[in-house]
Every structure is written in C-alpha cells, then in structure tokens.
Amino acid sequence: MTDSGQEETPYANLTPDTVLDAIEAIGYRCDGRLMALNSFENRVYQVGADDRFLIAKFYRPGRWNDAAIIEEHQFTADLVAAEVPVVPPMTIAGQTLHPHQGHRFALFERRGGRAPELEDPQVLERIGLFLGRLHRVGAECNFAVRPRIDIEHFGRIPLQILQQQNWIPAELQAAWAAVTERALEGIADAFERAGAVQSIRLHGDCHAGNILWTDQGPHFVDLDDARGGPAVQDLWMLLSGDAASQALQLGHVLRGYERFRDFDRRELQLIEALRTLRYLHYTAWIASRWSDPAFPAAFPWFGTNRDWQERILALREQLAAMAEPPLEVWSD
C-alpha cells in the first residue's frame, strides 16, 4: 500500500490491446492469448508470446516510484545470484522495468507449482531452509528507498488515512479511536521489549499464496511488498492454529532456517504486534483503493457498520494476544 490516500482509477486505459502493444514494443510477438491473473494491487496477465507463455506485471501507478521498483528487482537479482529460488523479472535490452503509455511493467517467465502443504513438518523445514538463505542475502545491506515495516508505516499512517477519508461510522468513532490507541501502545511496548532487533531486506508478504511448491522444493514469487523489517515478519504468516500448534510449526521452520542464519529469539515478542500492524495496514489498503472498481466488487461488506464492529472486536482480541507471553519454540 502506498502511504498516501485514495487514488483515481489507475487502470482505466489498460485495455487488452494496450497490454499486448506494450509487450510487442519491447520485442516479443504476441499471439493473442491473454488471461488476467488474480491480483488486486497490480494488474498481472498471462500472455502468449513467441510460442510460450510470459507473465506481465503492470505496476499500480502512484504506489512505488521507479527507484523503489528497481530496488525490488535488484534484491531479486541478488537472491538469484545466491541461488535462492525466486522468480526474477526478465532483463530486456538491459532493463527490467519498461514504460508504455503511462504504465510501467515487467515480464517474468511462467513457472508452475502448487500450494505448499504447511501441515507437513518436512515442508515447513524446507521452507525455513530457503527463508534462511533468503534472509542471509537480505541482511547483506538495507533498502535505500523502500520503507520499513514499522509502527509508523503500518500503524499510524494507515490510521490517518482512515480518519482523513471519514471511513469510521459516527456511532463507532469513539470505540475505534479507543481500541486503535491501545493497539498502538501495545505494538510500541512489544517493540520496546524486543529491543534493537536487526532490520533486513524481507520478502514482506511471505504467506502460502506466494510460495509455489514443486518436486524440487519451493520457490518464492511476488516480492512487490519487499521492505525492511525484522526477520520474523517472513515467518509468522506460515503459522496457524493455537499457540501450541504455532510453537511446534515454528520449531520446524527454524530447524531449516538456522542451518543458514541464526534467528534472534527476541523477535518472538513481535509476532502479535506485527499481526496487528498487518491488520491495520490491510484495512487502510482497502479504503485507499476504493476508487478502483475491483475493490468494491471484491469487498462489498467493507465500510458497513457490521464490518467496523467486527474490526473493533478483532483489534480487541489482538490486544489480548499482545498481552500474552511470546510464542515459545517447540520441537518434536
């Protein structure tokens, strides 16, 4: 999500002909096969070109500037050089980012795979192994342009967006203000307890949907949300269930992870705080994209009184979760 407010419709002139013209303009001959893939933030297409399929990603105008997108591409190149399994943008005429009629896009090879079976301890361990390698590369330097996952960018700014755009129903404003104030306090307390943990380059959105599994193991896709932050940000979204289940799952992940990089146990203090930040960020992300027709169609309940009541309840549950002792690491 950009750290600004609501945008005008950004893809109104991104027609199928425009997509195909853009790809042909950089040297590929399209055969007319074009299929939109599931993506809200950007527009992503599978395109038939030169007797194969390519993936074309058109970046949302106004979200990242060119320098931030190229920084993501460079991080991906660093990972490929270290043989970390990610899907990099294709380099064409020395460039990975291409302009066309006011849009910017990148091309990727199409690589298949299936969702990882996160219930399988061996799968979790293998994902942890590759995340350890990813983070070892990520820790070599910091992003110069891309912001961090922190209380400012994922907490305070999203709340400002919601307030400025008058999304909160009048009768719920007091309850929302009270719970979000306490949430920010709880997040700040968690970061204070954790202390000065290292900020590294992260995948940033490392959930199961961004990991494709093959017989050779996992590969990571979609580094569009890559930012700086604590390593645990790329770990906690792999966990599910009650605290005991998550502790056991994390143990499997770290068994692989720590073959390549030590994990700072102080970061366990941050799991519920990061979950709360993601929730605030996600809420403001939907609000700030509401002028994009895809969002009202996908989230028709957003902004209703019942929706805000449920969001207040969810944050109250997160307050309780942040007050609990940090997750322990178990192994079987």
205, 224, 234, 292: the active-site residue? 205
Active-site residue, from 50, 120, 215, 222: 222
Residues paired with 109 in a beta bridge: 54
Tokens 């600004």: give the residue.
Answer: 4
Cβ neighbours of 212 (radius 10 Å): 18
Q: Identify whether 307 is a catalytic site residue.
A: no
Known active-site residue 205: yes
- DSSP helix/strand/coil, 159: helix
Q: What angle do CA 178, 179, 181 make, to 5 degrees?
A: 65
Spell out a b/e string for 152-189, using b for 16 or more CB atoms within 10 Å of the CB, else e: ebbbebbbebbeeeebbeeeeeebbeebbeebbebbee
Q: What is the DSSP letter of 209?
A: G
Residue 18 structure tokens: 């425009």
Spatial CA neighbour of 107 closest among 50, 41, 146: 50
Of residues 116, 147, 287, the one with CA closest to residue 225: 147
Active site residues: 205, 222
